[in-house]
Structure 1
Amino acid sequence: MITPVLLCGGSGTRLWPLSRKSYPKQFVPLVGDQTLFQASAQRLAAPGYGAPVIVTGSDFRFIVTEQLQEVGVDPGAILIEPAGHNTAPAILSAALHVATQDPDELLLVAPADHVVPDAAAFRTAVAAGEEAARAGQLVTFGITPDRPETGYGYLELAQKPEGIAPVALTRFVEKPDIETARDMVAAGSYLWNAGIFLFSARTLIEAFEAHAPDLMPPVQAAYEKAKVDLGFLRLDPEAWDQTEDISIDYAIMERASNLSVVPFSGGWSDLGGWDAVWREGGPDDAGVVTSGAATAIDCETSLLRSDSESVELVGIGLKDTIVVAMNDAVLVANTAHAQDVKKAVAALKAKDAHQATTFPKDHRPWGWFESLVLGHRFQVKRIHVHPGAALSLQSHHHRSEHWIVVEGTARVTVDDDIQLISENQSVYIPVGSVHRMENPGKVPMVLIEVQTGPYLGEDDIIRYEDIYSRDQGAKG
């Protein structure tokens, strides 16, 4: 068996405003109906593959389980990083976990935010590298370039590849300038570095012992002291804090000699910018891609995307332009500056704009909410509660709330009173009242919440009971 290891972190800067720190791109349906994370999990849910090990952050743990459930994939383990310290500690923690069951188990490590249209071809490439991995090689996968690309690192091979047979790796090459990229593509012995790896747990642990020994003690301690929490495995934060923030390439791959590369030419993208989304979106004859409530009139080589229920986006006479509209933010950029979108995030952070990092929909284990209107001493939210889910039993010091059910049925607790509230009915929650909302039905429940008071922050909460075992100060 091969155990997939899906790395599910990210800062959400290159595809802003759709991708943000609180909700990075792997959880968004950027190409097709599934999210990138769901497509990654399903791609490796095949004969010969075990249940995936997921490495993610605490903020994403319930999003991970929810999205896996939607596509019918059961995870083997979900490891929670106390903080993002790049790929080397994350991958090592997964290897240590798998090694407790079988140190010779093969791990296929992959980011959860890549697009691979031909899943069968990809699994064929993985099979081509299996013998080398079982023989103690660190196998990486290189993408056959179809253009000179400055946004990717490259792999220099010892010889030109033939088919998908593993080839010895000569060196890693950092992201080049355009002239160097053209020369490498013309040479035929360079592949894009996909950041996807195949090796046994034993081989990787031995590689860390040889090339990055300082990482072993803190990661091992973080794993050995990990605590099970609602089925998640929380790595120990104190030990994890001692780990170096370093990528697997720098920590291991650029220092090891037992490296092989399997070429893959079946189509791949890491969706590293809006130009990549435009490419994967299938431009029409004019080079235009539209998505959502977007209309293009006399436009060329442009991407117009609206991810808002209330924003109708229309572009007229645009050329080489990216326009992405959401309820709370709009991006307009020249396609030549697609890699500069992270500058917008930095500029918004500098002015303390919440749009820099916070997604309009705030996801919770019970569902999600979004702020529709925020004014002086009042706020209006839409709240979506999954079937069978419940918010914590809680109270607030500074605000009262009015709840109006618009879909489904809510079971509402206010102090000692429990009642069912159906569509078009409402209930009032006074300041200080102990209350809870639940969805007892089999369809989603949606309500509109109107908050009034001098302070409306999410941290104004006293939690008494919570089926999700969250901390006292946790939101929702």
Structure 2
Amino acid sequence: MIPVILSGGSGTRLWPLSREGFPKQFLSLVGQESMLQATWNRVSGVATAPPIVVAGEDHRFMVAEQLREVGCSSPTILLEPAARNTAPAIAVASLEAMSHGADPLLLVLPSDHVIADVAAFQHALRDGARAAEQGQLVTFGILPTAPETGYGYIQAEAGDGVRKVKRFVEKPDADTAQTYLASGQYFWNSGMFLFKASAYIDALQQHQPAMLDACRAALANARRETDFVRLDRAAFERSPSDSIDYAVMERTDRAAVLPIDVGWNDVGSWSALWEVAEQDNEGNAHHGDVIAEQCKNTLAWSDHRLVTLLGIEDVVVVDTADAVLVAHKDKVQEIKAIVAQLKAEGRSEPSAHRKVYRPWGNYDSIDVGDRFQVKRITVKPGAQLSLQMHHHRAEHWIVVSGTGRVTRGDETIMLSENQSTYIPLGVKHRLENPGVVPLELIEVQSGSYLGEDDIVRFDDAYGRG
């Protein structure tokens, strides 16, 4: 059984904590692990091989680093050059799994869900595997606990265990959802699947041959690097964009569903996170430096500073370094409208946090003004930035802690705590951390243009052009 972890998506509904550049699967929303790490850990004991992870190119280093942190060695990370939904993503993963002549079971998992009862989930996998070995395309249906209108539903035939799917239905209105709940025949669509790789490929060949051809070509012409497999852009972009439900599951006669009750939640909104978070006696769930008085059923999240609440109910407050969200819990599904408005105004908040992660570490934009910008830079031990230059800005570096090796033109210098250097405009330079502790420094940029695209790279350890 090989896990296929789908790590695409932007997590818009959890803005401002989740951004396009750092979406919710990389966040530690429930517990200490990120949601991606928790996804791997809950199946690592039943997997027979490292996972195949399908991710966007911009997230490749975060995927690799987070899996390394939890001891997941040698994952196959397939990089999508364009978003094409879940059906093509699972197709390239299936083809990759079969590339060495095997035909394994594939356990397809979104990377951003919560499962509270891991033991029950692993037990369900064993039940589902027997049906999948016989060629069925098994999806996991969640026993509904409320007439939820935010999920799709699966209607199943009567019976126990794995049973045939009657139909998939879209997100219903409240009255329809109540009917589904009362009937006992409908289950929430979890987006998790279990099937043989060949069974999925055969279904695609029957129902979506153009998609399969495009995915074959994208993998055949992929560029394989040490840590990543870069799918061919031209071939992958020829694939239709479609979900596995529409492309395969609603069309095949081999669709089966296994109802499970495992404490599942897709954490698709702030209200959903409130449901799975630890709450006090008044139903308040708080993270970070939060003080609340006379409040009920609130969710407050602070990563940046003190947040205080007084005399409110059913309200969500999320504070980040560059944005604050205040919303009624009943309205949090509509955050996408806020994000759309920000994008229309050309603002950066939908895509990036003030703190930006790079394969060598991170930087935090502390202050910015006319012709200057101040950043706090952290370089991991043994890491280095690219050899680069800038056309429009000069830089001043001041070491706060650790040791830095600086290449500046033809000279190399060592800097330690409280020492500094100046990088003139147009001079080739590189920053390295040769030590065993993180290197922290303050960078002051000055010039006519301070954008991140004013970087000319001459050499880079991470394959960035």
TM score, norm. by length of structure 1: 0.96
Other-structure match for 1:134: 133
Q: Could you tell me the percent identity over the aligned residues?
A: 49
Other-structure match for 2:204: 208
Offset at 1:48? 4.4
Offset at 1:360? 2.1
Instruction: Give the one of 321, 326, 341 matched to 2:320.
Output: 326
Question: Does residue 191 of the first structure (1) align with residue 187 of the second (2)?
Answer: yes
Instruction: Give the one of 423, 433, 437 matched to 1:443.
Output: 437
Question: Does residue 368 of the first structure (1) align with residue 362 of the second (2)?
Answer: yes
Other-structure match for 1:350: 344
Offset at 1:353? 1.4
Offset at 1:461? 1.5
CA distance in 2, matches of 1:27, 1:284: 26
For each residue in 1:64-114, what CA deviation from the matched residue of structure 2 results, as whole angstroms up to 9, or x when unmatched? 111011111124311010011100110000000111124421000010000
Contact 1:295 1:304 in 2 (8 A): no
Q: Which residue identity lines up with residue 412 of structure 1 in the other structure?
A: V
For each residue in 1:151-172, what CA deviation from the matched residue of structure 2 results, as whole angstroms up to 9, or x when unmatched? 111111101x54xx21211111
Deviates more, 1:204-213 or 1:363-372: 363-372
Other-structure match for 1:335: 329
Question: Does residue 303 of the first structure (1) align with residue 296 of the second (2)?
Answer: no
Instruction: Give the one of 226, 231, 241 matched to 2:227.
Output: 231
Instruction: Give the one of 237, 253, 260 matched to 1:257.
Output: 253
CA distance in 1, matches of 2:177, 2:366: 46
Contact 2:271 2:332 in 1 (8 A): yes
Contact 2:112 2:267 in 1 (8 A): yes
Paired residues, number:
465
For each residue in 1:19-70, what CA deviation from the matched residue of structure 2 results, as whole angstroms up to 9, or x when unmatched? 1111110001111111100100111111443100000011000001110111
TM score, norm. by length of structure 2: 0.98
Other-structure match for 1:111: 110
Other-structure match for 2:163: 167
CA distance in 1, matches of 2:457, 2:169: 52
Runs of 5+ consecutive residues of structure 1 not aligned to the other structure = 472-476
Instruction: Give the one of 427, 431, 446 matched to 1:433.
Output: 427
Other-structure match for 1:474: none
Instruction: Give the one of 389, 393, 398 matched to 2:392.
Output: 398
CA distance in 2, matches of 1:322, 1:14: 13
CA distance in 2, matches of 1:294, 1:410: 37
SS in 1 for 2:213: helix
**Is the alpha carbon distance of 1:280 and 1:316 closer, same or farther for their aligned partners in structure 2, counting shifts above 3 Å?**
same
Aligned residues: CA RMSD: 1.2
SS in 2 for 1:389: coil
For each residue in 1:254-311, what CA deviation from the matched residue of structure 2 results, as whole angstroms up to 9, or x when unmatched? 0011111111101011100000111111222111111012221111111111122xx2
Q: Which residue identity lines up with residue 293 of structure 2 in the other structure?
A: I
**Is the alpha carbon distance of 1:48 and 1:322 closer, same or farther for their aligned partners in structure 2, counting shifts above 3 Å?**
closer
CA distance in 2, matches of 1:138, 1:124: 18
Other-structure match for 1:283: 279
CA distance in 2, matches of 1:175, 1:82: 30
Offset at 1:381? 0.6
Q: Which residue identity lines up with residue 53 of structure 1 in the other structure?
A: I
Other-structure match for 2:458: 464
Offset at 1:408? 1.5
